[in-house]
Structure formats: C-alpha cells, structure tokens
C-alpha cells in the first residue's frame, strides 16, 4: 500500500463500543471510514449518520469496500465474523477477548498467517499512555497487585468478569513479565448475573514473579483501576483511571524515622485517547504490513490465562460448596 494512499476501514458492530470505533476512525490520519454494519439496521443508520459514512445492510457488500475492519460484535460472534473477513483477505482488528475458545483463536491465527493478513486484538489498555509510562519504568517486578473495580453494566453480562475486565490486566501483566505461568489459584462468585461477577486470582510465574488480580463489576462508587508493582529498585503505583503514576525509591533520611527514606517521584503522563491511538497503530500496521502491537498470539495468551483462572474458580467453588 502506498504511503499516500488512505486505508479504507469499516466497522462491523456499532453497539456501545463499536460506535466509538466509528467516531474515532474519523480522527485517524491516513484512514478513510467507508461504512458500518450492524445486525440492527436502525442502529447502523444512527451511527452512520453520526460518523458521516454509509450504513451497509449487508456485511458482504461492506467487506467489498474495505481494506481493513474493526470487528466489535459480541464475543460469541468473534470467530465467525473474523473468519468471514479474513477469507475475504481483509486485515482485522478484533475486539477482546479474541474468541470464545482457544481452538477458534488458533484457527483465526492460522488463517491470518496463511493469507498474510494483519491480525490485531483490541486489548485497549495496551494503548493507555499510563501503561506505556509504566513499561518504561519497569526493571525486575517481584510482586504485582492489580485492582479493576466498577459498577454492573447489563451490556457486559454475556461474559464473566474474568473475560470482561480481568483479561485487560492479565494481558498487561503478561506483556510486562517475560515468563510462563507456573501456578494459578483463584476464587469468584456470581452476584447480579448468572456468571462470575467478582473474582480474585493469584498467578505465579516461572521466573518467581507473583501477581494478584482482583476484578469486580458489582462495586459501588467511582470505578477503580490501579496497578502496583514492587521491585528491588523501587515501588510503582499507577492509577489507570486518573492517569497518575508515582515511583517510590529509597534515599537518605532521618535515622529515627525510617519512613523518611522513602522518596516519591511523580511521573507525568500524556493525555492521549487510547482508542484513537489503538486505531492509528492498526492503520499503520496495515499500511506498512508490519507486526501489530497486540498480535493474535497475544490475544490467545490472554484468553488462555483467563480460561485457567476460570477453571481454578470453578474448582474452588466446588470445594467451597462441598464444605
């Protein structure tokens, strides 16, 4: 694709998140939004009017007009829609979680490789400027503590909290810790839906790093999204929500006051829009035929970790209720 040619993009699925994809694509230099499609034609027309593009009544017709697509449909439909796009030789940005099963993920990864298509998975937090700042401050993480708490949203009740929320942090930690999982223990409960709504997982890596994850979608008050990383050189505290980061290190202090040795350095974080940055990165991969920031393999690894957590939760619940 020539440097001066715009990437023709389309959005498949314009529900809550898909609408934002359509609107943000209009802000990406080097990209042209050629249309949207949704199984709800009226919804498609509304978002199309807002984004200033056509609404297509037929997915095949939309695919004929695009070089690349954002796929923002329910998780259960990820595999079928992504396969249809890949078989039409379209590059795809597929929202997380990558698919419902690992077998589906493997098949899509294989299709993309065979057909030389760009396959990026929409783990949005990777593009949060706060996460980028965190990766630059990382040295040798020993213990990681993550909290992602928020209110219940009916639109997300078709998946459990692990695949809905915790998977964001599983993906981030997996990208930061260059080691395989060694041991996982987890527990969770259903509260407002028939699926797990609050969960905690302890993950131990082969290199000795330990990470503790808590995810809830039944929390009152303001949403909380924080990660704390303890390493030999320092302690890092990052608030995703507020985009605030502090690094705590040891320095000189008062002999009678050990806590006075702790020095705090605030780290400034850019206020970039994560979704726009994600879409621009995808468009650049399409234009240059370069590896995307979050590959299909990355998405599969995050899904596998989430599935292991869910398996451990199921085992813990069986043990709990037997007791």
Give domain limits for the chain. Answer: 7-123+274-293, 126-272+306-317
Query: Tokens representing 289?
Result: 């035929």
What percent of the chain has a predicted confidence (pLDDT) above 70? 98
Nearest residue to 51 (alpha-carbon basis) of 22, 71, 11 = 22
Residue 173 confidence (pLDDT):
96
When the candidates are 1.10.630.10, 3.30.360.10, 3.40.50.620, 2.40.110.10, the CATH number that belongs to 126-272+306-317 is 3.30.360.10
Least confident of 58-72, 144-158, 215-229: 144-158
131/96: higher pLDDT: 96
**Average pLDDT in the 52-75 region?**
96
3-state secondary structure of 9: strand
Nearest residue to 91 (alpha-carbon basis) of 179, 159, 7, 206 = 7
Query: Tokens representing 268?
Result: 């400034």
Question: Is residue 242 over pLDDT 90?
Answer: no
**Average pLDDT in the 37-51 region?**
97
What are the b/e assignments for 152-182, b being 16+ CB within 10 Å?
eeeebbebbbbbbbbbbbbbbbbbbbeeebe
φ/ψ of residue 134, rounded to 5: -65, -45
Question: Is residue 81 over pLDDT 60?
Answer: yes
**Mean pLDDT in the chain?**
93
Question: Is residue 154 over pLDDT 90?
Answer: no
Nearest residue to 134 (alpha-carbon basis) of 273, 261, 235 = 235
311/156: higher pLDDT: 311
Burial class (CB in 10 A: 0-12, 13-18, 19+), 116: exposed
Question: Is residue 156 over pLDDT 90?
Answer: no
Residues 6+ away with beta carbon under 8 Å from 199: 160, 161, 162, 166, 186, 187, 188, 213, 214, 215, 216, 309, 313
Residue 229 confidence (pLDDT):
97
Distance, CA of 227 to chain centre: 15
Query: Do residues 61 and 1 make contact, with C-beta atoms less than 8 angstroms apart?
Result: no
Question: Is residue 11 over pLDDT 70?
Answer: yes
Q: Which helix or strand (DSSP H or E) is residue 201 part of?
A: strand 198-205
Cα angle, residue 243 at apex, residues 237 and 246 outer, rounded to 5°: 30
pLDDT digits (tens, 9 = 90+) for 252-295: 888 888 888 889 999 888 888 999 999 999 999 999 999 999 99
Q: How confident is the model at residue 3 (pLDDT cuts 50, 70, 90)?
A: low
As its CATH architecture, domain 7-123+274-293 has 3-Layer(aba) Sandwich (3.40)
Alpha-carbon distances of 166 from 180, 199, 215, 241, 250, rounded to whole Å? 18, 8, 6, 15, 32
Question: Is residue 296 over pLDDT 90?
Answer: yes
Residue 323 confidence (pLDDT):
67
136/92: higher pLDDT: 92
Alpha-carbon distances of 256 from 185, 248, 251, 253, rounded to whole Å? 41, 20, 14, 9
Q: How confident is the model at residue 224 (pLDDT cuts 50, 70, 90)?
A: very high
Question: Is residue 220 over pLDDT 80?
Answer: yes
Question: Is residue 1 over pLDDT 60?
Answer: no
Q: How confident is the model at residue 250 (pLDDT cuts 50, 70, 90)?
A: confident
**Average pLDDT in the 155-179 region?**
90
**Average pLDDT in the 229-248 region?**
91
Rounded to whole angstroms, the maximal C-alpha distance in the chain is 74
Q: How confident is the model at residue 205 (pLDDT cuts 50, 70, 90)?
A: very high
Tell me if domain 7-123+274-293 and domain 126-272+306-317 are identical in fold. no
Q: How far apart are CA 100 and CA 85, in angstroms?
A: 17
Residues 6+ away with beta carbon under 8 Å from 113: none
**What is the distance in angstroms between the CA of the first residue and the CA of the last residue of the chain?**
62
Least confident of 124-128, 207-211, 241-245: 241-245
């Amino acid at each position: 694709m020539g440097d001066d040619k715009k990437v023709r993009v389309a959005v498949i699925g314009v529900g809550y998140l898909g609408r934002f994809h359509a609107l943000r694509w209009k802000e990406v230099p080097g990209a042209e939004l050629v249309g949207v499609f949704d199984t709800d034609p009226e919804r498609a027309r509304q978002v199309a009017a807002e984004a200033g593009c056509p609404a297509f009544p037929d997915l095949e017709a939309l695919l004929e007009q695009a070089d690349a697509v954002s796929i923002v449909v329910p998780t259960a439909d990820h595999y079928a829609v992504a396969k249809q796009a890949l078989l039409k030789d379209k590059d795809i940005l597929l929202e997380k979680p990558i698919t419902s099963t690992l077998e589906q993920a493997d098949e899509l990864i294989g299709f993309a490789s065979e057909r030389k298509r760009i396959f990026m998975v929409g783990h949005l937090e990777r593009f949060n400027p706060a996460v980028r700042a965190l990766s630059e401050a990382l040295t040798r993480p020993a213990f990681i503590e993550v909290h992602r708490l928020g209110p219940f949203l009916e639109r997300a009740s078709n998946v459990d909290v692990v695949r809905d929320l915790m998977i964001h942090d599983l993906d981030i930690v997996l990208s930061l810790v260059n080691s395989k999982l060694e041991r996982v223990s987890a527990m969770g409960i259903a509260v407002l839906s028939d699926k797990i709504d609050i969960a905690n997982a302890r993950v131990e890596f082969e290199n000795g790093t330990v990470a503790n994850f808590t995810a809830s979608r039944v929390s009152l008050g303001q949403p909380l999204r924080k990660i704390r990383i303890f390493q030999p050189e320092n302690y890092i505290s990052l608030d995703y929500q507020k985009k605030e980061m502090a690094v705590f290190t040891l320095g000189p202090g008062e002999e009678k006051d050990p806590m006075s040795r702790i020095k705090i350095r605030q780290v400034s974080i850019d206020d970039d829009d994560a979704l726009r940055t994600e879409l621009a990165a995808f468009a650049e991969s399409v234009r240059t035929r370069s590896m995307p920031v979050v590959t299909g393999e990355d998405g599969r690894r995050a899904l596998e970790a989430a599935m292991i957590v869910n398996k451990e939760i199921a085992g813990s619940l069986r043990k709990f209720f037997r007791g």
